[in-house]
């Protein structure tokens, strides 16, 4: 249980933390493989002035090599499956240049009449080498698929829009210079002129940009760092989802494990008493008790990191626009996950350990459960309720701390589900033409998948928690359950009572989860984001509560059916 | 003894624990009739099956074979639910380890069976008050079990067993965890109950408890080896107990 | 009894009937069986032994119950000696034990049956004592005495229980030990005979328990 919880939480946290670094790492590797330029100069204007301004840049002493200028044509591309997307066509030489040399991942390089598609774009379109695509009415065979570091990943291949304006979600294709020129001319398409530059000092792109400010014509200088940053934009939401998700998962892990730990507290108290009796110091006892949890937590952490490493490529690179391997998690990530694992272990073990230490040796050895606190008002209230609720309330009153944990666990789950619902309720702008959903919005899809996964993990953990809670409670309450049975409570009443004991904290927990979600959205988005419909939210909360009830019914039922006579006799000796 | 006056009837009762080789007969072909108003004690060494017998009578365990009738109703085949209902109406349990609910005060413990049986809280509370008065603990009604002595806890447990006015009270080693002074308190209450005509079946190895009964059954290896009427024997006079000759 | 009467006079000289009343009060219900004349017989003996002296109360007719008794110095010494004495009545268990052994050896009676009968008898006595305690006011000193009676009966009952277990389970062993002690080499034959005899005991269990074909061995 602890192992599972810590594994899930650390994996999530590790992924969240190393996401940005992973995206950068992939860009750097792609850049190395494709001789990516340090700076790309683009101008949406036309005319001789533009060309001379761009070629003038190449004469700068800082520049050691250049490629271009070349034309970028804004067009529409339709696949045979009739998905249509904006595309920018780069007019390139048939021979690879010294810099900005797109790396073919399949097929061959451009020839007259044929095109090569950028890999992220091709993947999204579902296009393979040998397929035909239609660009502005003319069919081109797809000769190859390639990746480049000169532009940002799909769908941000356009860099600047037509005439230097804003751009849409756009894919990237390459053609020969002649084909590109012909395409632009035939349909009178907007064109941008670009030149790729390699600097003496690749780190000095900012200084280079400062040194070259054009009043006219307008020239945009895009550094490789800018592209790398742009790449990470697709992960903009992933990071918080994963990091917040890992917090929530860690919280659930702590609640679940704490419940389990208190369930075992009696045994542990006895063990501590035994150690004390043979002369162990409190420090030694604490070490012994904590070690068990720490070992498990660290094992969970290692497992979590391994999972994170395996899952990272898919997570960090939702598009196919980049190549390269990801190393293991960085030192910072490992430190963070270790801290998380330690916190979980210590928080879980703290209470039972402290209690075990505080209990006097003799009391511990003859270990009866801790002195129950009494809540007269609860008992008075419960006397008015039907029997199952009565039993439930009294069982809840027995462990107020656990009820709070249980409520927290449910609140977390409902909160996650509500967030998921809200995201799904948001209108989606697809990557197709004019936001057509023919091509799905990769970033949203990625976010959704991620949130779905995190939520699913949260739900699983919450379910495990609910069962753990019920089971611990059933075990702890077994004497009382047996007494109640002997006094004439039916198994049904006892089952209902145990389930009710879980539901009592679950209901306020669910309400809290919904409120938390609404509050957070109101704070963060000031009401302009789409909210999940209220019936959905209520439904989710209700479903969570009902699922808890159903899940707890099974252990409760088993507990209720335990033979009374044996329990009572066992307690007597 | 006419059939109708027997609160408990048992025929050919067998209870086996365990499986295969390790199978043990805890109760071995026992016949028993407990008439209304009788206080019956069952004695025997530990492990002789007397506790199992008591559990069988109260429907806490199911017999392997044989019949158990409580209040003219056969209970060995009843569902758990029906057994629970039977217990709350017709049977009151008293245990060696008291088995009070630690979270509830003395009065609340006594009320519990009444509430389980669907009684109104007000009525349950009043009845609990009366019973605690009867066992001499009216002043301790609001104490938690942990604040009571063993004897007091057992008296609370007896009050709890009585709250639904059961046909029979089944007590399992009621003085097993008590010192002799506390045992005496419990014995006094049992004697009062006996005088009031309450049917009682007490399993014990405390000779004092057994001696207080109308009838004593000795059990060994799951069987009855002796069945003696203690009540109604010609009193010899207390002088016989001491040598007072000069 | 003599010592107790002497000790009661140590506080102050007293009438015979006063002594009797104090005795009865201390003994509680157990004192009721005391013969009314017994106190005077005791006092007469003590007087004869020179431990008490009596004098007639003034202005009253001469009747034995109107005499006032007082301790003599010898009587006082005897009281002091009595108080210092640590003797204790010895329970006579040997007689019952030998009864069982003899009954078993000669096959006169089933020792387990004898134990059972004795047990029933002691339980009845215990019941009486118990009821007497419950009838007494809690603060009465007589309760302590009755409690003592109850505890001794309990001890005796526990011993009987041990006897019963030993005789019903270990009858062979007992018998063999007895046989060997008596006749040395012939013990083996005797033991076999003993084992045959004890089938009778099993038979009794069968009768008592109704059925008993598959008894569970050992507890």
A181-185, A438-442, B104-108: the lowest-pLDDT one: A438-442
Q: Does B65 touch chain C (CB under 8 A)?
A: no
Sheet with B199-204, strands from edge to edge, namely B91-94, B168-172, B199-204, B39-43, B215-220, B223-229
Residues in a beta bridge with B41: B202, B216
Q: Cβ B225–C208 below 8 Å, yes or no?
A: yes
Tokens linked to C28: 């509680």
ipTM > 0.90, yes or no: no
Q: Which CATH superfamily is domain B3-230 in?
A: P-loop containing nucleotide triphosphate hydrolases (3.40.50.300)
How far is the C-alpha of A204 from the C-alpha of A182, rounded, in Å?
37
Task: Tell me the chain B residues in contact with residue C34 when contact means C-beta distances shorter than 8 Å.
Answer: 239, 244
How far is the C-alpha of B84 from the C-alpha of A561, rounded, in Å?
12
Q: Is the pLDDT of residue A478 over 50?
A: yes
Q: Is the pLDDT of residue B198 over 90?
A: yes
Residues in a beta bridge with B170: B93, B201
Tokens linked to A165: 């304006």
Task: Tell me the chain B residues in contact with residue C37 when contact means C-beta distances shorter than 8 Å.
Answer: none
| DSSP strand pairing (B24-35 vs A103-107) | unpaired
Q: Cβ B103–A398 below 8 Å, yes or no?
A: yes
Percent of chain A with pLDDT over 90: 0
Residue-wise pLDDT tens digits, A498-523: 777 777 778 888 888 888 877 777 76
Cα four-point dihedral sign A370, A375, A380, A382: negative
Q: Does B195 touch chain C (CB under 8 A)?
A: no
DSSP summary character for residue C191:
H
| DSSP strand pairing (A138-147 vs A103-107) | antiparallel
Q: What pLDDT sits at residue B167?
A: 92
Task: Tell me the chain A residues in contact with residue B99 when contact means C-beta distances shorter than 8 Å.
Answer: 479, 482-483, 486, 568, 571
**C42, C43, C123, best to mutate vs chain B, most B CBs in 10 Å:** C123
B246: nearest CB among C1, C126, C158: C1
Residue-wise pLDDT tens digits, A14-69: 777 776 677 777 788 888 888 778 888 877 777 777 777 777 777 777 788 888 78
Residue-wise pLDDT tens digits, A328-383: 666 777 777 788 778 777 776 776 667 666 665 544 444 444 444 555 555 555 55
Q: Does B69 touch chain C (CB under 8 A)?
A: no
DSSP summary character for residue A132:
E
Q: What pLDDT sits at residue C203?
A: 37
Q: Is the pLDDT of residue B218 over 60?
A: yes
Question: In whole angstroms, how far apart are CA A532 and each of A347, A444, C41, C81?
Answer: 35, 16, 108, 101
Chains C and A touch (3+ CB pairs under 8 A): no
Q: How far is CA A430 from the centre of its chain?
A: 21
Residue-wise pLDDT tens digits, C57-102: 665 555 555 788 888 999 999 999 998 988 888 778 889 999 988 8
| DSSP strand pairing (B65-70 vs A63-78) | unpaired
Q: How far is CA A329 from the centre of its chain?
A: 16
Q: Which of A498, A482, A478, A475 is nearest to A387 (CA)?
A: A498
Q: What pLDDT sits at residue A325?
A: 67
Residue-wise pLDDT tens digits, B21-57: 778 888 999 999 999 999 999 998 888 888 889 989 9
Q: What pLDDT sits at residue A532?
A: 58
Alpha helices in A264-281 (DSSP H): 265-277
Tokens linked to A250: 């860690």
DSSP summary character for residue A60:
S
Chains B and C touch (3+ CB pairs under 8 A): yes
Higher pLDDT, A442 or C42: C42
Q: Does A385 touch chain B (CB under 8 A)?
A: no
Average pLDDT over every residue of B100-128: 84
Q: Cβ A491–B102 below 8 Å, yes or no?
A: no
Residue-wise pLDDT tens digits, B104-114: 788 888 988 88
Q: Which of A2, A419, A449, A451 is nearest to A250 (CA)?
A: A2
Instruction: Answer for the pair B207, B73: CB distance below 8 angstroms, yes or no.
Output: no
Average pLDDT over every residue of A402-429: 74
Query: Which CATH number applies to C2-84?
Result: 1.10.10.10
Q: Cβ B60–A488 below 8 Å, yes or no?
A: no
Task: Write the CB contacts of A16 (distance below 8 Å, at least 6 apart in sequence).
Answer: A238, A239, A240, A241, A242, A243, A245, A246
Residue-wise pLDDT tens digits, C151-202: 899 999 999 988 988 887 755 555 555 555 444 444 343 333 333 334 443 3
Percent of chain A with pLDDT over 70: 76
How far is the C-alpha of B139 from the C-alpha of A462, rounded, in Å?
47
Distance from CA of B33 to the nearest CA of C (A): 14
pLDDT-based confidence at residue B130 (cuts at 50, 70, 90): very high
How far is the C-alpha of B241 from the C-alpha of C131, rounded, in Å?
13
Q: Does B144 touch chain A (CB under 8 A)?
A: yes
Listed by start position, the domains of chain A span: 1-32+243-371, 45-217, 374-573
Q: Is the pLDDT of residue B168 over 90?
A: yes
Residue-wise pLDDT tens digits, C11-24: 888 888 888 888 88
A488: nearest CB among B55, B97, B113: B113
Dihedral angle, C-alpha A280, A283, A287, A289, nearest 10 °: 70
Tokens linked to A569: 């006799």
How far is the C-alpha of B73 from the C-alpha of B8, rounded, in Å?
9
Q: Is the pLDDT of residue C217 over 50?
A: no
B211: nearest CB among C41, C126, C214: C126
Residue-wise pLDDT tens digits, A93-138: 888 777 888 888 888 888 888 888 888 888 878 888 888 888 888 8
Cα four-point dihedral sign B23, B27, B31, B33: negative
């Amino acid at each position: 249980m602890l192992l599972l919880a810590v594994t899930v939480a650390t994996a999530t946290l590790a992924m969240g933390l190393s996401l940005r670094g992973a995206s950068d790492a992939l860009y750097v590797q792609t850049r190395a493989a494709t001789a990516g330029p340090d700076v790309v100069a683009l101008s949406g204007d036309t005319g001789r002035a533009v060309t001379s301004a761009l070629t003038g840049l190449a004469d700068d002493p800082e520049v050691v090599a250049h490629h271009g200028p070349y034309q970028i044509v804004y067009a529409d591309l339709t696949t045979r499956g009739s998905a249509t997307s904006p595309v920018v066509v780069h007019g390139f030489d048939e021979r690879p240049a010294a810099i900005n040399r797109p790396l073919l991942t399949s097929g061959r390089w451009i020839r007259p009449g044929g095109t090569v598609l950028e890999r992220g774009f091709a993947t999204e379109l579902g296009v393979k080498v040998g397929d035909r695509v239609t660009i502005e009415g003319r069919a081109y065979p797809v000769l190859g698929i390639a990746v480049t570091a000169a532009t940002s990943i799909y769908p941000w291949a356009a860099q600047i829009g037509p005439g230097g304006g804003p751009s849409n979600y756009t894919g990237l294709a390459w053609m020969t210079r002649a084909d590109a020129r012909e395409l632009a001319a035939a349909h009178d398409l907007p064109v941008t002129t670009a030149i790729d530059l390699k600097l003496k000092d690749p780190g000095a792109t900012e200084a280079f940009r400062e040194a070259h400010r054009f009043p006219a014509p307008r020239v945009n200088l895009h550094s490789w760092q800018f592209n790398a940053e742009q790449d990470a934009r697709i992960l903009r939401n992933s990071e918080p989802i994963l990091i917040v998700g890992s917090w929530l998962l860690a919280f659930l892990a702590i609640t679940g494990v704490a419940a389990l730990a208190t369930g075992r507290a009696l045994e542990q108290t006895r063990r501590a008493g035994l150690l004390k009796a043979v002369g162990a110091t409190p420090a030694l006892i604490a070490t012994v008790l904590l070690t068990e949890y720490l070992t498990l937590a660290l094992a969970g952490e290692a497992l979590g990191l391994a999972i994170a490493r395996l899952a990272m490529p898919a997570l960090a690179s939702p598009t196919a626009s980049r190549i390269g391997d990801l190393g293991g998690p960085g030192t910072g990530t490992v430190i963070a996950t270790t801290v998380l694992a330690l916190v979980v272990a210590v928080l879980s073990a703290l209470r039972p350990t402290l209690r075990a230490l505080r209990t006097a040796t003799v009391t511990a050895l003859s270990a009866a459960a801790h002195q129950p606190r009494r809540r007269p008002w609860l008992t008075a209230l419960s006397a008015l309720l039907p029997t199952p609720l009565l039993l439930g309330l009294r069982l809840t009153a027995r462990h107020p701390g656990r009820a709070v944990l249980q409520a927290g666990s449910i609140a977390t789950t409902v909160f996650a589900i509500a967030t998921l619902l809200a995201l799904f309720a948001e209108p989606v702008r697809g990557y197709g033409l004019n936001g057509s959903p023919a091509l799905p919005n990769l970033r949203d899809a990625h976010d959704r998948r991620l949130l779905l996964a995190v939520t699913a993990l949260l739900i699983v953990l919450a379910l495990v928690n609910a069962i753990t809670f019920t089971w611990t409670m059933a075990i702890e309450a077994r004497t009382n359950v047996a007494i109640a049975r002997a006094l004439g409570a039916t198994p049904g009443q006892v089952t209902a009572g145990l389930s009710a004991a879980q539901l009592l904290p679950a209901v306020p927990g669910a309400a809290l989860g919904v409120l938390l979600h609404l509050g957070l959205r109101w704070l963060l988005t000031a009401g302009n984001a789409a909210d999940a419909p209220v019936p959905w939210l209520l439904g989710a909360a209700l479903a969570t509560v009902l699922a808890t009830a159903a899940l707890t019914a099974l252990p409760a039922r088993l507990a209720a059916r335990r033979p009374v006579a044996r329990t009572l006799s066992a307690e007597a000796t | 003894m006419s059939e109708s006056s027997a609160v408990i009837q048992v025929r050919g009762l067998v209870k086996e624990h365990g499986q295969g080789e390790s199978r043990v007969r805890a109760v071995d072909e026992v016949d028993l009739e407990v008439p209304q108003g009788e206080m019956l004690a069952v004695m025997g060494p530990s492990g002789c099956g007397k506790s199992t017998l008591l559990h069988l009578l109260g429907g806490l365990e199911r017999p392997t074979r044989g019949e158990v009738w409580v209040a003219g109703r056969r209970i060995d085949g009843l569902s758990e639910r029906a057994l629970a209902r039977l217990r709350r109406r017709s049977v009151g349990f008293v245990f060696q380890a008291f088995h009070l609910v630690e979270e509830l005060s003395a009065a609340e413990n006594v009320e519990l069976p009444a509430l389980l049986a669907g009684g109104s809280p007000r009525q349950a509370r009043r009845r609990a008050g009366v019973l605690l008065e009867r066992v001499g603990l009216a002043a301790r009604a609001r104490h938690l079990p942990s604040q009571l002595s063993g004897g007091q806890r057992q008296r609370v447990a007896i009050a709890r067993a009585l709250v639904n006015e059961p046909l029979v009270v089944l007590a399992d080693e009621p003085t097993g965890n008590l010192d002799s002074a506390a045992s005496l308190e419990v014995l006094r209450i049992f004697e009062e109950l006996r005088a009031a005509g309450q049917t009682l079946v007490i399993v014990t190895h405390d000779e004092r408890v057994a001696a207080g009964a109308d009838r004593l059954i000795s059990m060994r290896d799951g069987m009855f080896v002796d069945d003696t009427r203690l009540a109604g024997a010609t009193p010899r006079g207390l002088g016989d107990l001491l040598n007072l000759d000069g | 009894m003599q010592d107790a009467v002497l000790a009661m006079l140590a506080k102050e000289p007293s009438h015979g009937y006063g002594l009797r009343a104090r005795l009865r009060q201390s003994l509680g219900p157990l004192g009721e069986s005391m013969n009314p004349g017994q106190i005077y017989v005791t006092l007469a003996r003590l007087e004869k032994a020179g431990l008490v002296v009596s004098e007639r109360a003034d202005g009253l007719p001469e009747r034995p119950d109107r005499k006032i008794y007082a301790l003599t110095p010898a009587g006082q010494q005897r009281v002091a000696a009595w108080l210092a004495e640590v003797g204790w009545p010895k329970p006579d268990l040997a007689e019952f034990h030998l009864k069982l052994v003899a009954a078993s050896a000669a096959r006169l009676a089933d020792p387990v049956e004898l134990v059972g009968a004795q047990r029933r008898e002691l339980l009845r006595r215990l019941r009486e004592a118990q009821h007497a305690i419950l009838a007494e006011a809690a603060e009465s000193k007589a309760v302590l005495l009755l409690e003592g009676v109850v505890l001794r009966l309990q001890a005796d009952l526990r011993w009987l229980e041990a006897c019963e277990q030993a005789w019903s389970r270990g009858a062979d062993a007992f018998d063999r030990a007895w046989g060997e002690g008596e006749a040395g080499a012939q013990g083996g034959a005797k033991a076999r005979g003993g084992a045959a005899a004890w089938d009778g005991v099993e038979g009794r269990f069968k009768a008592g328990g109704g059925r008993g074909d598959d008894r569970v061995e050992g507890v």
